[in-house]
Copies of this chain bind each other. A is one copy, B any other.
Amino acid sequence: MNIGEIAKRAGVSRSTVSYALSGKRSVSEETRRKIQQVIDELGYRPNASARALANGRTSTIGLVFPPAGAHYTGMQLDFIGSVVEAAAAYDYDVLLSPSGVDSDRSFQRLLAERRVDGAILMEIRLRDDRVDHLVAENFPAVCIGRTAHPDSDWWVGLDHTALVEACVHHLADLGHHRVAFVNRPEHLLRSGYESAHRGLDGFTKAAAERGLTARTYSCGDDAPSGQACLERILHDDPATTALVTLNEAALGGLYRGLAVAGRHVPRDFSVTGVVASRWAETVTPQLTAADVPAEQMGRLAVELLVERLGHPDTAPRHHLLAPPISLRASTGPAHPRTGSDS
């Protein structure tokens, strides 16, 4: 059931079938109908590998996936979903590439073996080998996140600095003086993980500006770590009345820690941070947070990539997003704890 078979049954040459399908040269109405009829009868679809070999385009984009074995967060899932959906709208398939332990191997696979026309990278680091590599080869790629030298790349990113600053200002406006920052795990910070660094910067800066007493913590990406982290916070400074977090996966644990410590949210303690709205709404009380527009970011990344694929030598473009804080139910005015603890 290849193009030769169709040609034979339609009584024309292979090239005529190809042109009838692609429309790159005119074909008489009559033969076009005949060919279409044969194709419909046999349910023919052109072989993707052969097509890719011949015209050099695979109609596939690679999505470089967070390290395998890690704790995926809801945000990442939303990215993946929206990327797949947006790509389908442009007739692209999405190939997942685990950037796991031997990330090089699967990465090489994508690029050097020409499995994809372009790539979207998640989980960017400030200094990122993968990005350097792609830029050096001028390979069409778009990052979800920014490196330290963002002008030479294509990316769509979140202004974590501004978002965390906004969270701190929100808390300061409510009268909080002693606040904590719950960051992603230590090893991500050390490896230069973008959002962790920029978020931390924003926190430190805004806390200084507002004259707050601030402490920062790293916390594992899971609920038990969140609970432990909260215990540490209250142990280090029992007078803490609010926290800001980037750590979506630890959120449930932070809440549990507060409940265990007898701190009511938002009466005794305010919580805010940067979390996708869909997940901010699953906790009780619902989280006042900067809404990560994961769906939009995935879509924008695909749009940028498609544009770049269409116009290979355009100057880099980017989108820096700074979604507003959605006021929900997890923050309130500070009530300094008086007397002994409950």
Chain A residues engaging chain B, CB cutoff 8 angstroms: 43-53, 58, 60, 63, 65, 68-69, 71-72, 74, 76-78, 80-81, 84-85, 88, 93-98, 100, 106, 108-109, 112-115, 222-224, 249, 251-253, 255-256, 259, 278, 281-286
Q: Is the CB of A283 within 8 A of B96?
A: no
Copies in the complex: 2
- A222 touching B46, Cβ below 8 Å: no
Contacts of A109 in B (CB 8 A): 45, 48, 93
* CA–CA, A106 and B60, complex, Å: 13
A49-B114, A88-B98 are known; give 4 further A-B pairs, CB within 8 A: A45-B109, A60-B95, A65-B84, A84-B96
Would you call B97 and A93 a contact (CB within 8 A)?
A: yes
- How far apart are the CA atoms of A93 and B98 in the complex, in Å? 9
Partner of A80, one of B71, B80, B224: B80
Q: Report the minimum CB–CB distance from A121 to chain B (whole Å).
A: 15
B47 pairs with A282, CB closer than 8 A: no
Q: For A223, what are the chain B residues with a Cβ–Cβ distance below 8 Å?
A: 281-282, 286
**CB atoms of A95 and B95 under 8 A apart:** yes
Give the Cβ gap from A192 to chain B, nearest Cβ, in Å.
23
Q: Are A106 and B78 in contact (CB under 8 A)?
A: no
Closest to A253 in B: B282
Which residues does chain B contribute within 8 Å of A255, judged by CB atoms? Answer: 284
Given contacts A72-B77, A84-B65, A95-B95, contact A112 B278 (CB under 8 A): no
A and B contact pairs by CB, cutoff 8 A, 16 listed: A48-B109, A48-B114, A48-B115, A49-B52, A49-B58, A65-B81, A71-B278, A74-B77, A76-B77, A80-B96, A84-B98, A85-B98, A88-B98, A93-B109, A251-B282, A255-B284
Q: Measured between alpha carbons, how far is A223 from B281 in the docked complex, in Å?
A: 6
In Å, the complex CA distance between A120 and B81 comes to 17
CA of A85 to CA of B67 in the docked complex: distance in angstroms?
A: 9
Name A76's closest neighbour in chain B (CB-CB).
B77
Chain B residues closer than 8 Å to A88, beta-carbon distance: 68, 98, 100, 106
A85: chain B residues at CB < 8 Å are 68-69, 98, 100
* Chain B, Cβ-Cβ closest to A60: B95
A226, closest chain B residue (CB): B282
A115 touches B98 (CB 8 A): no
Chain B residues within an 8 Å CB radius of A95: 60, 93-96
- A113 touching B48, Cβ below 8 Å: yes
**Closest partner residue, chain B, to A227 (CB atom):** B284
Given the interface pairs A98-B84, A100-B88, A283-B252, the reply to whether A112 lies near B78 with Cβ below 8 Å is no
A252 & B46 in contact (Cβ 8 Å cutoff) = no
Whether B278 pairs with A259 at a CB distance below 8 angstroms is: no
Q: In whole angstroms, how far apart are the Cα atoms of A65 and B96 in the complex?
A: 12
**B-side contacts of A108, CB under 8 Å:** 45
What is the minimal beta-carbon distance from A142 to any residue of chain B, in angstroms? 17
